[in-house]
Copies of this chain bind each other. A is one copy, B any other.
Amino acid sequence: MGKLWEKGYRLDAEVERFTVGKDYILDQELVEVDCLGSIAHARMLSEIGILTKREFSGLKAALLEIIRLDKKGKFKIKPADEDVHTAVENFLTKKLADLGKKIHIGRSRNDQVLVDLRMYARGHLLDIEEEVLGLVEVLVDFAKKHSRVPMVGRTHTQPAMPSSVGLWAASFAEALLDDLELIKTAYDLNNQSPLGAAAGFGTSLPIDRGLTARLLGFRKVQNNVLYAVTSRPKFEAVILFALSQVMDDLARLASDLIFYSVPEMRYFTLPKEYCSGSSVMPQKRNPAPLELIRAKAAGVGACLTQVTNTARLLPSGYNRDFQETKEALFRSFETTEASLKISRLIFSKLKVNEKALLAGFTPEVFAADLATKMAEEGVPFRKAYKEVAQKLDKLESQDPRENILRKKHQGAPGNLGLLRVRNKIRGELLRVKKERSRLGKVRRALLAL
């Protein structure tokens, strides 16, 4: 068996190779979700009388078999199959003859792939959320542990004012928590059921889109059938933007670490087990994983660019162009998850060199605080500023540890507000856990229909 649309002539071989591309390989990751979608679709067809109960059972059994084969790596999509949908229908037809030929009524590959991608993204977005929260926890622990370790705060890369390792680490924790809001928005948009949109124009059958949406655990039906199809690259872009923001935060973190780990700074030391060496310089311990995170952030950003540029001027309705963004989506999920894991690993082992951190505190770093103190005592601030500027070479050094503890307003080095952050983490983790458990129930219910 070959393509679903074959009609007695064959596609030119070179064109076939070009159009299938890597789709049949990527689709291998969609086998289970494609079968789950088909179970829900078939169930709905039996509810509205298009299939008999018995037909539904027959189809379901065969779909469960595919899921089992896939688990063992034994359901392979062939290039001639084009995609997972075809491979599954071909399997059903081979096994069930005419019954297999009935499954595709009332839907199209266009809404089918949408279902698959949304279920795929749902799982992966939850994975990302967990990894983000895991890293945030590690960063908060790190910030707590080093909340009293002074670090020269910088603006314009130049030493500016007293700061702390805690403030620095916690700033990334809060950034990632904001990224979580982007991921949640993406999750909510993604969690709508496109099933029943068919080719983007609906069907004359009295299908029950609400039922399939419930069976598949979507929070609602995505209403307009044409929009369901055209929303594909939009939702991918929303997801990729969220991922790219996560990656950009990791990249800035990596970039800071690379800078702060040169021997001239030596604020932090990366364990040697995490550093690559050189083929000619025996002494080298290179922060390769950090550099790769930095580069991978540009990669995920480019995936977003690819998706938005692919979609910008496409005519309404399904276009084959959509196929090309699948790899960008899949690869970005993988990259982001791996980068989060590695970042967490690094932070759980990062060595902080307090002595080197203290060595950076030249008297000038306290200049702004001195001007503020003078102003507090009555000198108009701008005057105090100018007076301090005149005697920069006569400034006395201070104890940075005392300095940072004295800054006690909300969010300052002496009052990081980590408890507030921890509460936020706890709430978010609970939410993710609940949603994951809900999805687990949805899956089990589908398998047991």
CB neighbors of B among A199-227 (8 A): 199-210, 221-227
**Contacting A109 at CB < 8 Å: which of B50, B110, B279?**
B279
Within 8 Å CB of A280, what residues of B?
104, 107-109, 198-199, 368, 371-372, 385
Chain B CB within 8 A of A188 CB: yes
A425 to chain B, nearest CB (A): 13
Are the C-beta atoms of B409 and A209 separated by less than 8 Å? yes
Are the C-beta atoms of A167 and B224 separated by less than 8 Å? yes
Are the C-beta atoms of B316 and A14 separated by less than 8 Å? no
Are the C-beta atoms of A312 and B252 separated by less than 8 Å? yes
Are the C-beta atoms of B157 and A262 separated by less than 8 Å? yes
Q: How far is it, in angstroms, between the C-alpha of A312 and the C-alpha of B216 when the chains are bound? A: 38
CB neighbors of B among A400-430 (8 A): 403, 406-414, 416-417, 420-421
Within 8 Å CB of A171, what residues of B?
224, 226-227, 230, 316
Main secondary structure of the interface of A (DSSP, over half): helix
Are the C-beta atoms of A380 and B276 separated by less than 8 Å? no
Chain B CB within 8 A of A27 CB: no
Are the C-beta atoms of A238 and B182 separated by less than 8 Å? yes
Chain B CB within 8 A of A7 CB: yes
**Contacting A9 at CB < 8 Å: which of B157, B273, B421?**
B273
Contact with B along A273-287 (1 / 0, CB 8 A): 110111111111111
Are the C-beta atoms of A282 and B209 separated by less than 8 Å? no
Within 8 Å CB of A369, what residues of B?
204
Most chain B CB within 10 A, of A163, A295, A306, A345, is at A295
One of A65-73, A130-138, A317-325, A432-440 contacting the partner: A317-325
Chain B CB within 8 A of A174 CB: yes
Within 8 Å CB of A153, what residues of B?
199-201, 226, 317
Within 8 Å CB of A372, what residues of B?
105-106, 203-205, 280
Q: How far is it, in angstroms, between the C-alpha of A82 and the C-alpha of B403 when the chains are bound? A: 32
CB neighbors of B among A157-179 (8 A): 157-163, 167-168, 170-175, 178
Chain B CB within 8 A of A296 CB: yes
**Contacting A315 at CB < 8 Å: which of B89, B259, B338, B416?**
B259
Within 8 Å CB of A148, what residues of B?
none
Sampled A-B contacts (24; CB under 8 Å)? A3-B276, A5-B282, A7-B389, A19-B288, A89-B382, A105-B375, A156-B286, A157-B317, A158-B286, A163-B226, A198-B280, A202-B411, A203-B407, A209-B409, A209-B410, A224-B416, A244-B308, A256-B315, A280-B372, A291-B320, A292-B320, A297-B312, A298-B324, A299-B328
Contact with B along A36-55 (1 / 0, CB 8 A): 00000000000000100000
CB neighbors of B among A247-271 (8 A): 248-249, 251-252, 255-256, 258-259, 261-265, 271
Copies, count:
4
Are the C-beta atoms of A319 and B157 separated by less than 8 Å? yes
Q: Interface residue count for A (Cβ, 8 Å)?
A: 192
Q: How far is it, in angstroms, between the C-alpha of A110 and the C-alpha of B286 when the chains are bound? A: 14
Are the C-beta atoms of A223 and B410 separated by less than 8 Å? yes
Q: How far is it, in angstroms, between the C-alpha of A365 and the C-alpha of B280 when the chains are bound? A: 12
A302 to chain B, nearest CB (A): 4
Within 8 Å CB of A104, what residues of B?
279-280, 381-382, 385
Within 8 Å CB of A207, what residues of B?
409
Within 8 Å CB of A262, what residues of B?
157-159
Within 8 Å CB of A342, what residues of B?
14-15, 18
Are the C-beta atoms of A155 and B284 separated by less than 8 Å? yes
**Contacting A368 at CB < 8 Å: which of B196, B199, B256, B381?**
B199
Are the C-beta atoms of B18 and A380 separated by less than 8 Å? no
Within 8 Å CB of A228, what residues of B?
411
Q: How far is it, in angstroms, between the C-alpha of A160 and the C-alpha of B279 when the chains are bound? A: 12
Are the C-beta atoms of B201 and A413 separated by less than 8 Å? yes
CB neighbors of B among A343-369 (8 A): 345, 360, 362, 364-365, 367-369
Chain B CB within 8 A of A94 CB: no
A168 to chain B, nearest CB (A): 6
Within 8 Å CB of A324, what residues of B?
292, 295-296, 298-299
Q: Given A5-B277, A368-B281, A259–B157 Cβ distance below 8 Å? A: yes
